[in-house]
């Protein structure tokens, strides 16, 4: 049985924040879950995926976040308790349905999990999605611990049903990827089906309807503000004259700092668990009781600005500060030491930080960036394309493991802004320059948002080459399935959509399917694509070996070794491929037989035929 | 209860996330307040993997620079790189077996000599526990048990309130049968190096 289905209320488990959210949803009797994966949200759907195989929960990996939001919206307006999860930039993709779903609202509780990533541990930007609650008018909860991740998810379903509005839960990396003790509650049975009741004057958003719905949204917003001002979520801790306002992960840093500095008596903390609508009355009362306020929030000065506006309207003139105090800035995540120091500075508390080690004499250390795995098919495809196109072509790329092609010695990534941008920016580069253009896109990304760019390329006659890296999985985020995956070996019933048929159906004339581990043949096809006067698509098919191993589809082959009688040590293998199985022993290249998966690519690259299989 | 801030540092595949999680499980079993933080994602493609375990009266799940009570380094270069987490009172436990990053193989930087790295650490930390964790893992016939060796060394160091018995109980319930014996052996040998 899945551990999150453990039916023993009162038991304490050490749960990852994301697991706690999944458990909270189960305790709310969630029946419908959708997502597109993305760090740091991915463990929530990974748990749902497994749970759906042993319960009545419906779960799907949707094509992208917009689709996930719309599929979930239909379930929620039909009356089912529904959850949809995504990372912060995913909400950009889903922003269109989000904005008008707020107008029509829901019947069954609907919870939107949004995972922000301050410090960009694994993201292309660090946008602050608290703005989306302001933009859409939807309530936002910001839990501060694993226990609250579970509790708030459960409560969010109830609030959503009471208000008939989706509720957004915003997490950050330091909540999603933190394990803490969680006390389990009761599991609720899953309702499998509901009946949709027609009501075009609510659900069909033509202008005349939406004009009315906007009024209703504002009414619901007022009700939400009442909840926010009540004592169910937001609270003031302490009675001191030094005011501190904190939300999310920062609340923990504040709590610890107050303890470490021994200033509990002097401080009042306003903990914003329900951060939108802002608890206006609570904030004003709070500010009236304290002498000064420090706002501790990562990224944008949202609470700070709103508190200043409340103060202005109410004639409150105490200092309200946030950004600019100590090291508080709009950049990156905060940390406990930084928050402790800022609090000490702002309130004039004496504090001596622990004495640093003297590290001035540290030698220069070699970097350890992440790298494509040993035997990763992306490496082989990049090598083959570079052999044919050279280094001068423009290489728009996309988001996935293959973005690591940025690093030397591959160095084949020139432009990426968001998922799907490789295909569409390829159109733009091809039109705007006379340079050759080769775009790279992963298979999951192709389905997510690459198809529309390819349609543009066909329709507007753009001339470039799109390489689709079909490794049969969504590797970067933890090897999820997507519409192009053959799920049969995993024992799951899903219909596979072969990429080649999609590409041909869109009207692409020059289509090549290559096997990247067969370098010579692959390069011939790539050459043909390069010479074609028009749009070419190359589909490079080879399964990610990690996914193949995890799903028992991996065909074991012999590892390779360097035959030093033949090796002339010019290191083409290292200089062109740099597979992590290779290393230097003295000044000789060696291959670690435990890391090598026997993909044979280096053996094909070595002009001396010095790389050979290890004899049994 | 006294607060303990522990930082685990390693390289993708060495299993330090599992080690920190199991330590957290043992703390929970002993009713010691605990938070564990992990970095998933990009860092795992052969990059640096960091996790932290905080025990006692503390809610923050991460450790700021100079604030670690214990640094557990699974690879000597990475221990050295993570020294910014330490102060003069930090206990450092480090594996001495080097795992050079691929940047070294392609000539972008040189791997510092292990003996010099250890000397550098010894001159700065309050106490250093050094062990060849990979050799021990090989010795017990389970190269993947490096994390158990390091966990053993941590428990042996007596820097946490978690005892060997509690730790082993957690290992026994969370390890596949086929690996249990070698894992426990690895744990014991690691522990013997530290006491
Ligand atoms: C809008 C958006 N959603 C999700 C993500 C997270 N994400 C990054 S890469 C990726 C998928 C990569 O899969 P694929 O294109 O198949 O490449 P692979 O990693 O398998 O090489 C996802 C989901 C993101 N960066 N942006
Ligand atoms: S996980 Fe798969 S796709 Fe990603 S780098 Fe490794 S082998 Fe390549
Ligand atoms: S065969 Fe060569 S390129 Fe392939 S995994 Fe082994 S060392 Fe790496």
Chain A residues within an 8 Å CB radius of B88: 355, 357
- As given in the structure block, the two tokens for residue A303 are 């609470």
The whole-number pLDDT of residue B105 equals 85
The whole-number pLDDT of residue B43 equals 57
Domains along the sequence of chain B with CATH: 4-194 (3.40.920.10)
pLDDT surpasses 90 at A421:
yes
- The one-character DSSP state at A190 is P
Distance CA B39, CA A198 (A): 46
The whole-number pLDDT of residue B41 equals 59
Give the chain A residue nearest B60 (alpha carbons). A252
The mean of the pLDDT values for chain B is 95
Tell how far the Cα of A572 is from the centroid of ligand 2, in angstroms. Answer: 22
The whole-number pLDDT of residue B42 equals 57
Q: Which residues sit with their C-beta closer than 6 Å to ligand 1?
A: A 36-38, 65, 87, 89-90, 93, 399-402, 419, 442-445, 469, 471, 473-477
Q: Give the mean pLDDT of A362-366.
A: 96
Which of B38, B64, B100 has the CB atom closest to A336's CB atom? B64
- The one-character DSSP state at A586 is T
Chain B residues within an 8 Å CB radius of A480: none
pLDDT surpasses 80 at B44:
no
Domains along the sequence of chain A with CATH: 3-229 (3.40.50.970), 235-347 (3.40.50.920), 377-486+493-550 (3.40.50.970), 560-613 (3.30.70.20)
- What is the value of ipTM here, to two decimals? 0.97
The whole-number pLDDT of residue B107 equals 84
Selection from A125, A606, A571, A480 nearest residue A331 by Cα: A125
pLDDT (tens digit per residue) in A452-482? 999 999 999 999 999 999 999 999 999 999 9
Sheet containing A320-321: order of strands: A235-237, A267-272, A242-247, A292-296, A320-321
Q: In chain B, how long is the greatest CA-to-CA distance?
A: 50
A198 confidence band (pLDDT: 50, 70, 90): very high
pLDDT surpasses 70 at A606:
yes
Tell how far the Cα of A611 is from the centroid of ligand 3, in angstroms. Answer: 9
- As given in the structure block, the two tokens for residue B160 are 């946490």
Chain A residues within an 8 Å CB radius of B26: none
pLDDT surpasses 90 at A83:
yes
CA–CA distances in Å: residue A265 to residues A70, A258, A259, A272:
49, 9, 10, 20
With contact defined as beta carbons under 8 Å apart, do A438 and B79 qualify? no
Locate the ligand 3 atom nearest the alpha carbon of residue A599 and give its number.
4
Pairing mode, strands A82-87 and A32-35: parallel
Give the list of residues 6+ apart from residue A326 with CB closer than 8 angstroms, or none: A338, A341, A342, A345, A346
Hey, what's the torsion of the CAs at A51, A56, A58, A60, to 10 degrees? 40
DSSP B114-132: HHHHHHHHHTTSSEEEEE-
Note whether B46 contacts A173, CB cutoff 8 Å.
no
Please tell me whether residue B148 adopts helix, strand or coil conformation.
Answer: helix
Q: Establish if A39 touches chain B: CB-CB under 8 angstroms.
A: yes
Query: pTM higher than 0.95 for the full model?
Result: yes
A591 lines ligand 3 (CB under 6 A): yes
The whole-number pLDDT of residue A578 equals 93
The whole-number pLDDT of residue B1 equals 79
Residue with tokens 């016939």: B141
Give residue A24's region: left, alpha or beta (phi > 0; psi -120 to 50). alpha
Distance CA A64, CA A516 (A): 27
With contact defined as beta carbons under 8 Å apart, do A359 and B84 qualify? yes
pLDDT (tens digit per residue) in A213-234? 999 999 999 999 999 999 999 9
A428 confidence band (pLDDT: 50, 70, 90): very high
Provide the shortest C-alpha distance from residue B41 to chain A (in Å).
Answer: 6
Provide the shortest C-alpha distance from residue A178 to chain B (in Å).
Answer: 4
Q: Establish if A336 touches chain B: CB-CB under 8 angstroms.
A: yes
Tell how far the Cα of A554 is from the centroid of ligand 2, in angstroms. Answer: 13
């Amino acid at each position: 049985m899945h551990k999150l289905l453990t039916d023993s209320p009162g038991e304490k488990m050490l749960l990852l924040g994301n697991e706690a959210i999944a458990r909270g949803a189960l305790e709310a009797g969630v029946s419908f879950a959708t997502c597109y994966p993305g760090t740091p949200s991915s463990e929530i759907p990974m748990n749902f995926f497994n749970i759906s195989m042993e319960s009545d929960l419906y779960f799907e990996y949707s094509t992208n976040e917009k689709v996930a939001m719309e599929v979930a919206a239909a379930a929620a307006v039909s009356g089912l308790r529904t959850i949809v999860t995504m990372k912060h930039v995913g909400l950009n993709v889903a922003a269109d349905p989000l904005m008008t779903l707020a107008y029509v609202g829901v019947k069954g509780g609907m919870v939107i999990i949004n995972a922000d990533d301050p410090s960009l541990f694994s993201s292309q930007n660090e946008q602050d999605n608290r703005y989306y609650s302001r933009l859409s008018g939807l309530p936002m909860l910001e839990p501060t611990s694993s226990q609250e991740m579970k509790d708030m998810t459960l409560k969010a379903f109830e609030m959503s049903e009471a208000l008939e509005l989706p509720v957004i839960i915003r997490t950050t990396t330091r909540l999603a990827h933190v394990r803490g003790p969680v006390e389990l509650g009761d599991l609720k049975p899953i309702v499998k089906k509901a009946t949709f009741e027609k009501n075009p004057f609510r659900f069909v958003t033509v202008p005349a309807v939406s004009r009315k719905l906007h009024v209703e949204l504002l009414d619901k917003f007022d009700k939400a503000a009442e909840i926010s001002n009540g004592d169910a979520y937001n609270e003031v801790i302490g009675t001191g004259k030094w005011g501190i306002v904190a939300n999310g992960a920062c609340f923990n840093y504040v709590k610890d700092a107050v303890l470490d500095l021994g200033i509990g008596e002097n401080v009042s903390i306003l903990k914003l668990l329900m951060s939108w609508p802002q608890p206006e009355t609570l904030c004003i009362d709070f500010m009236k009781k304290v002498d000064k306020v420090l706002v501790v929030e990562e990224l944008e000065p949202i609470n700070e600005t709103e508190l200043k506006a409340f103060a202005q309207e109410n004639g409150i003139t105490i200092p309200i500060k946030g950004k600019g105090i100590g090291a508080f800035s709009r950049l990156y995540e905060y940390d406990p030491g930084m928050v402790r120091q800022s609090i000490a500075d702002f309130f004039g508390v004496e504090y001596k930080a622990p004495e640093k080690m003297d590290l001035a004499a540290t030698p220069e250390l070699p970097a350890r960036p992440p790298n494509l795995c040993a035997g990763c098919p992306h490496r082989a495809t990049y090598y083959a394309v570079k052999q044919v196109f050279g280094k001068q072509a423009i290489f728009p790329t996309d988001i996935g493991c293959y973005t690591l092609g940025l690093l030397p010695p591959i160095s084949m990534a020139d432009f990426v802004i968001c998922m799907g941008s490789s295909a569409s920016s390829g159109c733009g580069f091809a039109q705007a320059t006379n340079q050759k253009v080769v775009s790279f896109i992963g298979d999951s990304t192709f389905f997510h948002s690459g198809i529309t760019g390819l349609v543009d390329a066909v329709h507007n006659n753009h001339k470039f080459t799109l390489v689709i890296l079909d490794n049969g999985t969504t590797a970067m985020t933890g090897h999820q399935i997507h519409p192009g995956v053959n799920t049969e070996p995993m024992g799951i019933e899903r219909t596979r959509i072969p990429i080649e048929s999609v590409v041909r159906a869109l009207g692409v004339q020059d289509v090549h399917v290559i096997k990247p581990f067969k370098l010579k043949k692959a390069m011939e096809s790539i050459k043909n694509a390069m010479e074609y006067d028009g749009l070419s698509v190359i589909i490079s098919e080879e399964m990610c070996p990690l996914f193949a191993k995890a799903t028992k589809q991996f065909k074991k082959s012999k590892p390779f070794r360097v035959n030093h009688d033949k090796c002339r040590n010019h290191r083409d293998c290292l200089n062109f491929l740099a597979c992590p199985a290779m290393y230097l022993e003295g000044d000789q290249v060696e291959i670690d037989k435990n890391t090598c998966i026997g993909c044979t690519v280096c053996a094909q690259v070595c002009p001396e035929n010095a790389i050979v299989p290890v004899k049994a | 209860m006294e607060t303990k801030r522990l930082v685990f540092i390693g390289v993708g595949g060495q299993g330090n996330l599992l080690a920190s999680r199991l330590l957290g499980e043992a703390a929970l079993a002993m009713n010691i307040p605990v938070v564990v933080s992990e970095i998933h994602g990009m860092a795992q493609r052969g990059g640096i993997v960091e996790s932290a375990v905080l025990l006692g009266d503390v809610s923050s799940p991460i450790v700021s620079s100079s604030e670690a009570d214990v640094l557990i380094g699974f690879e000597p270069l990475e221990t050295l790189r993570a020294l910014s987490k330490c102060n003069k009172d930090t206990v450092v436990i480090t594996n001495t077996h080097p795992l050079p990053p691929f940047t070294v193989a392609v000539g972008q930087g040189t791997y510092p000599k292990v003996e010099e790295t250890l000397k550098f650490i010894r001159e700065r930390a309050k106490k250093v526990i050094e062990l060849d964790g990979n050799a021990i893992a090989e010795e017990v016939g389970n190269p993947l048990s490096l994390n158990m060796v390091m966990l053993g060394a941590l428990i042996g160091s007596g820097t946490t309130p978690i005892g060997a018995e509690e730790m082993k109980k957690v290992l026994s319930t969370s390890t596949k049968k086929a690996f249990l014996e070698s894992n426990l052996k690895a744990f014991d040998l690691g522990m013997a190096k530290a006491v």
